[in-house]
Amino acid sequence: LRRIGVLTSGGDAPGMNASIRAVTRTALYHGLQVVGIRRGYEGLLEGDFVPLTRSSVGGILLHGGTMLRTARCPAFMRPEGINAGVSKLRENDIDALVVIGGDGSFRGAKELHDRGIHVVGVPGTIDNDMAGTDCTIGFDTACNTALECISKLRDTASSHDRMFIVEVMGRHAGFLALETGVACGAEFVLIPELPVDLEAIANKIHYAKQRGKTHSLIVLAEGVMSASELAEKLKGHCDYDPRIVVLGHLQRGGAPSCFDTVLASRLGAAAVEALIDGKRGMMVGRTKDEIVTVPLETAWTQHHPLDSDMLRLVETLSI
Ligand code: F6P
C-alpha cells in the first residue's frame, strides 16, 4: 500500500471534514500518500484529483459540509461507470480507496471491491439508516440542529395556541424524527416504520386540548408523507389550523457536534488502519463505543432497528 484515495459521496453530513482530516493525517503518519477525489464518484470518473497534505486538511476539523465536495452519481450505478472508475484509480496509481458516505455510496464501493480495488467505507449520513454501526457521522449534529429549530417553534406555538407540523429529513427511516421528537417533547412522532393512525392523532389532540393543553407539536419524518399532506389530512379532524415547517437541508449544515467530530476522527483513522491491516471490502463503525470493522454490505443487507423504548417514551411523556 503506497497511495490511497479518499472521497465523500451522496448527501453531505457534518463531520465529513473531520473524517477527511483523520484519513489524511493517519495515512501520512504511516508514510502513505493521499489523494483527495473531488465530488465523489463523479469526480473519480472525471479524474478530479487533488493531493492532500498535512496542511491542506488543516483548519477544516470543525467546518460543516465537505471540502472535497460531494455528488450523487447516476453513472456509477451502471457497470460501465464502475469499470471506468476502476481504470481511473489504476491509471493514477491509487492502491486503495476510503469512501465516506451513506449506503448508496457503499454499494458503489462494494462494486469497486468486487473488481479488485481495496476499499474501506466510513458511514456518513444524517439519516443514521445504516446497519453495522450504532450511529453514522452527522446524525448527532442534525438532531441538535433540528432540536434548536423546534425549540424556537415551540415558543411561538405556545404563545399562539397553535399546532406545528415539523417535517424532518431521514429519507425512508425515522431515526432523526424519533430522536428529535423525544428531545423536543413532541406530542407525536410519525415515522415510516409505523402505520399512521390519523383518527388516533386527532382524538389525542382533542382530549389534550380539553385537559388544557394549548399547543401541539408533531414531528413528521419525510418518509411518511409531506407536512402539507398531513396538514391537509388533519383538517377537519382536529381543533387546530396547523402551521407547517419543513426543516429540509438546514439539517445537513453547520459545524459538527463534539460527538460527531470525535466519531468522524475515530472512524477516519480506523479506516486507514483497516487498510494497512489488509482488510478489504469492509466498513468501519461504532458499536457500543467499540470501533468495529464489518463487511460493506452489512450497511444495507442488515437491519438497523429503531429503539422501541424510544417509541414508548414519546407515548408516555406526551400525556
Ligand atoms: O441522505 C441524506 C438526505 O439529507 C436525506 O435525509 C434526504 O432525503 C436526502 O438526503 C435529500 O437529498 P438531496 O440533497 O439530494 O435533495
Q: What is the number of the ligand 1 atom nearest to the C-alpha of 102?
A: 1
Distance CA 311, CA 309 (A): 5
CA 311 / ligand 1 centre spacing (Å): 24
CA distance 142 to 127: 9
Atom of ligand 1 nearest to the CA of 126: 2
Mean pLDDT of 225-244: 91
Confidence of residue 140 (pLDDT cuts 50, 70, 90): very high
Name the helix (H) or strand (E) containing 92: none
Alpha-carbon span 292 to 32, nearest angstrom: 23
Distance CA 226, CA 232 (A): 10
Q: Which three cell numbers mark 232?
A: 391537509
> Where residue 138 falls among pLDDT bands split at 50, 70, 90?
very high
Q: Are strands 163-168 and 243-246 parallel, antiparallel or unpaired?
A: parallel
Read off the DSSP letter of residue 161. T
SS3 191: coil
Pocket residues: Cβ below 6 A from ligand 1: 11, 72, 102, 125-127, 169-171, 222, 252
Q: What is the pLDDT of residue 314?
A: 86
Computed over every residue of the chain, the mean pLDDT equals: 96
> So what's the pLDDT on residue 92?
97
Ligand 1: residue whose CA is nearest its atom 15: 11
Nearest CA to ligand 1 atom 4: 11
Assess whether 309 carries a catalytic annotation.
Answer: no
- Provide the pLDDT for residue 107: 98
- In terms of Cα–Cα distance, which of 242, 241, 260 is closest to 251? 260
Question: Given 12, 127, 140, 260, which residue is catalytic?
Answer: 127
pLDDT at 315 over 90: no
Q: How far apart are CA 97 and CA 106, in angstroms?
A: 12
Helix (H) or strand (E) holding 174: none
pLDDT for position 11: 98
**pTM of the full structure:** 0.97
Q: Which residue has the higher pLDDT, 272 or 236?
A: 272
Contact between 50 and 36 under an 8 Å Cβ cutoff? The reply is yes
Of all atoms in ligand 1, which is nearest to the CA of residue 129?
1
| Interface predicted TM-score (ipTM) | 0.98
Distance, CA of 159 to CA of 44 (rounded, Å): 52
Q: Could you tell me the distance, in angstroms and rounded to a whole number, from the CA of residue 234 to the centre of ligand 1? A: 26
pLDDT, tens digit, 9 for 90 and up, residues 172-216: 999 999 999 999 999 999 999 999 999 989 888 888 888 888 899
What's the pLDDT band for 238 if we cut at 50, 70, 90?
Answer: confident
The grid coordinates of residue 272 equal: 486507514
Q: What are the Cα distances from residue 70, in Å, to 46, 105, 213?
A: 13, 11, 45
User: Which residues, at least 6 apart from 158, have a Cβ–Cβ distance to it below 8 Å?
Assistant: 214, 215
